[in-house]
Amino acid sequence: MNVAAVVSSPHGPRPNRVDWIMAQVLLALVPGILAMTWYFGWGLLINITLAVLFALGAEAAVLRARGRPVLPTLKDYSAVVTAVLFAIAVPPTLPWWLTLIGMVFAIVLVKQLYGGLGYNPFNPAMAAYVLLLISYPVEMTTWLAPKVLAEHSLTFFESLQLIFLGHLPQGLDWDVISSATPLDEMRTQLGRDLMIEEIRQSPLWGDFGGRGWEWVGNWFLLGGIYLLGRRVITWHIPVSLLASILVLAGLFWMFDPQAYPFPAFHLFSGGVILGAFFIATDPVSACTTRKGQLIYGALIGALVFVIRSWGGYPDAVAFAVLLLNIAAPTIDYYTQPRVFGHARDHAKGQDGGAG
Amino acid sequence: MSHLAPPQPSPRHIWTFHGGIHVPDEKALSNGSSIESIPLPPRLVIPLAQHIGAPARACVRVGERVLKGQLIGEAQGYVSAAVHASSSGLVVAIEPRPVPHPSGLSAACVVIETDGEDAQAPLPEPLTDYVHLDPLVVRERVRWAGVVGLGGASFPTSVKLNPGPDRRLKTLVINGAECEPYITCDDRLMREQPTRILEGVRILRHLAGAERVLIGIEDNKAAAIAALVQALAVTDLQQIARVVPIPTLYPSGGERQLIRVLTGLEVPSHGIPAQIGILCQNVGTAAAVADAVLRGQPLISRVVTVTGRSVDAPRNLEVPVGTPASTLIAHCGGFRQPPRKLLCGGPMMGFELPDAEVPVTKATNCLLALTAAETPDPGPALACIRCGRCAEVCPVRLLPQQLYWHARAKDLDRAQDYNLFDCIECGCCAAVCPSHIPLVHYYRYAKTEIWAREQDRRKADQARLRHQARLERLERQEQERKAKLRKKKESLEGEIGAEPGSADAKRAAIEAARQRAAAKKKAALEGQSGDSRRGEPLTDGGSRSTDTADAPDPVPAPRQPVERIEEST
């Protein structure tokens, strides 16, 4: 069918645009990015820049190889969103070549080889994150200590040096600048059979999560609410995802508060808020029916809690999202809405009037 | 009291349907001035198919003089509508001409060169006392007048008025919603001729036997609502009829959507409103019914909105059917700027006209000349990002993103699984799509493909059935033949065994039969020396002829065997 020659209704203006939607997502990420930069230094901004450049380069190369128009696709900002989400998820000191591998994998293999935007069954940013986490566990789990705890915050040039040359400035030691993430810490200490009350004696802990960390989520939450307000996303996935974690964590916490952390700890540690509003809501790889989205979000939340509590990795958003990506088409198929005029009980209408 | 305060529409509970969109209504362009008539064009091109169903059959000849209101096309079959001359003049051609149809194809038209006299043909008696007449007579009048739904679908009204013997119509819904942007012809009609509309409503209610009447009008037409409320207050309809303002939300004027909004009921998928006891008619149709029944006038003109920012002076015109679109546009001052698109209908569901020479038909509610700003080029369609906005706005609660996916993949079975045929092509999904995908176009394409495939399948099925039936028949005949032979043999053996004394008689009988057969054979050979088969001893003379007819044949099988098979299956 020659769609270019189509003259079909409707004929009016088309007010919505893909690039606008993607730009809104990027805009909504800004508060969270600024907060993370505040706590963890320049590394994040450097990583974002690198990831965006790599992603656009990879996208342009594949499009050219596939003989597709390059510029219109680059201008939809979808590759930029992938790159920024990836850069936020990885440690701010990640060596540049890992970012390169991640972006090439995300754009070339996960996105373009499936047909490009709209056809990828998996979230490209999360697939790249998981690839690197499995292949380079040390680099992917070495996090800087948040500013409030760090004895030394890396300067811009120190960050550049670390990312590009891979070695620390003179006189600095990984022990000085890095620190376990709260999820990691919780997991390790619980593994040593410590009670949560004891674990939380450490200066690492703030009011409900790790110090510094616990506040980052709020800024992403702010961006998420903005996206809801602009109707870029709907409430179904974030709410069901967060509710599912809260309910599960709450149940276990009530059952044994010394072995299972307070529910808010789950919400504001790791990538849950970011995942709920920015990653699980990626429309391409998520469920598309409303009922399906509720199930999708709830199952991601449940998987996050299960993997965090009993699995092999401290955080689980990426794994949970990818697992549910596979399930999304099936969930969609079984959650189709009742079409207008289809049987539910239109027998009641036989008398010709309800009012 | 009514002198002190104007009557108000009575508040009434209304329902909602899923989705729908708010689009700039653009009604103000054309709703300001009253309906004008236009000078008679020199030529009328009157299509014989202006309705859903079988086209009318021309009943005038080229060279014949016709009068205004004279029947020129007879309804052919039950679902069809009559066509009348919109003015007097000479029939100069009956031939295919371009007509306003989405396909852009030509169709048979009666071309009349008008004589300017507008001489009226004798009209049938008004049926003013329709209440005491057999409804059949009144319905026949509506059918004679060629009244079709004027809301756009142009389904023959008389057919709709006959719900069938075991269906009772309880509610008459009158559609004055006019939800498409730009179009104001119903709005003006309601404002200016509410009494004529209500006359029609009264007839329709009587014919349907409905207990109540709900007149649904979108609340962006306050003047129309007020006019109808006021006109209603002085009729005997006010006991059972109500004007119901409904929220302005496209596509609330869709028949199923309006019924849902006014009654809370859903018309069953693939069903009709009559199944839930409802008859729905457009306000313009009601007026046409009134003309037909009370004044004996056939449907030969209608109100058309001529609008869009390319038109110099948008307005509503009362137009004889068959008038070229260009005449209407000229009457509205022509084009202020060349239109980017000239549409028949509104921007949401209308279709582009090939040129301005196509005629106005009974279905033409609007000529819309849009500027480039009003119908901007959506640019190349991007990939679907499955954002689901389409599903949010779909008034039928479909999943347009899934339909698109399967239509694009030509996975037509899956598209049907996702209820493709419930799509009303309202265009909401495409209007909100951020990737600017022409979704409705894909659905139309998929529907057409499926129809074509169904047709092929039906043909193949028929051929297969025919073949099967033939094999079965041959098999049956063979069995019958064997059974006959066996029976004969048995009876012969039985006779021989039972009566040894009569064996000679038997043998004699056989001999006589042989001689008879030989004589027959000889006669046959002499008579038709060419056809040796006829001369062979016949085992089953009756079946031979059909057998020949069904023998493998290079030319398509004649019609007769097909019919026989249809009977047998």
Write the ipTM.
Answer: 0.86
Q: What pLDDT was estimated at residue B540?
A: 42
**Minimal C-alpha gap between B346 and chain A (Å):** 9
Query: B487 and B391, same structural domain?
Result: yes
Run of H or E including B261: helix B255-263
Residue B284 and residue B179 share a domain: yes
List chain A residues with pLDDT less than 70: 1-7, 344-355
**Could you give phi then psi for residue A204, rounded to 5 degrees?**
-60, -25
Residues B327 and B432 in one domain: no
Looking at the structure, tell me whether residues B203 and B272 fall in a common domain. yes
Place of tokens 């869709």: B254
Type of residue at B220? N
CA A220 to CA A170: how far, in whole Å? 35
B396 and B310 both lie in a single domain: no
Contact yes or no for A349 and B438 at CB 8 A: no
Asked whether the beta carbons of residue A338 and residue B397 sit closer than 8 angstroms, the reply is yes
Domain span at residue B427 reads: 381-494+563-569
Question: How far A352 CA lies from chain B's nearest CA (Å)?
Answer: 4
Q: Give the H or E element holding residue B306.
A: strand B301-307
Does residue B499 belong to any structural domain of this protein?
no
pLDDT in tens, chain B (569 residues): 444 555 666 667 889 999 999 999 999 999 998 999 999 999 999 999 999 899 999 999 999 999 999 999 999 988 999 999 999 999 999 999 999 988 888 899 999 999 999 999 999 999 999 999 998 999 999 999 999 999 878 899 999 988 777 778 999 999 999 999 999 999 999 999 999 999 999 999 999 989 999 999 999 999 999 999 999 999 988 889 999 999 999 999 999 999 999 999 999 998 899 999 999 999 999 999 999 999 999 999 999 999 999 999 999 999 999 999 999 999 999 999 999 999 999 999 999 998 889 999 999 999 999 999 999 988 888 889 999 999 999 999 999 999 999 998 889 998 998 999 999 999 999 999 999 999 999 999 999 999 998 899 889 989 999 999 999 999 999 999 999 999 888 888 776 655 555 667 777 778 888 888 888 777 766 655 444 444 444 444 444 443 434 444 444 433 433 333 343 33
Report how far residue B239's alpha carbon sits from residue B211's, in angstroms, rounded to the nearest whole number. Answer: 10
Please report whether residue B19 resides in a domain.
no
| CA distances from residue B306 to A305, B360, B366 in whole angstroms, order as listed | 63, 11, 6
Q: What's the pTM value of the predicted model, to 2 decimals?
A: 0.81
B351 found inside a domain: no
The minimum CA-CA distance between B345 and chain A, rounded to whole Å, is 10
Same domain, B170 and B319: yes
Share of chain A above pLDDT 90, in %: 56
Q: Provide DSSP, B10-48.
A: PP------S--B-----GGGTSSS--EE-PPPSEEEEES
pLDDT at B503: 63
| pLDDT, position A149 | 74
Sign of CA dihedral A38, A39, A45, A51: negative
Residues B173 and B270 in one domain: yes
- Give a yes or no: residue B432 inside a domain: yes
Question: Do residues B326 and B402 both lie within one domain?
Answer: no
What's residue B552's pLDDT? 41
B 109-138 residues with CB < 8 A to A: none
Domain closes at, from B304, B331, B358: B331
- Does B486 fall in a domain? yes
Distance from CA of A72 to the nearest CA of B (A): 9
Cβ within 8 Å, pair B385-A342: no
Is residue B246 in a domain?
yes
Signed CA dihedral, A90, A96, A98, A103: sign only: positive
Q: Record the tokens describing residue B477, joined without a space.
A: 């005949």
Would you call B170 and A353 a contact, using CB atoms and an 8 Å cutoff?
yes
Q: What's the total number of domains in chain B?
A: 2
Interface of B with A in 17-36 (CB under 8 A): 17-18, 23
Q: Are residues B319 and B391 in the same domain?
A: no
**pLDDT score for A214:** 80
Written as six digits, the tokens of B186 are 């119903």
B168 within 8 A of A353, measured Cβ to Cβ:
no
> Which residue from B245, B263, B314 is spatially nearest to B30, judged by alpha carbons?
B314
Which residues in chain A are contacts of B418 at CB distance < 8 A? 336
Angstrom distance (rounded) from CA B456 to CA B451: 9
The pLDDT of residue A349: 39
* Residue A35 CB-half CA count within 13 A: 18
Residue B290 lies in a domain: yes
> In this structure, what CATH number is given to the domain that contains residue B142?
3.40.50.11540
In eight-state DSSP terms, residue B58 is E
Q: Name residue B68's amino acid.
A: K
The pLDDT score that the predictor gives to residue B146 is: 95
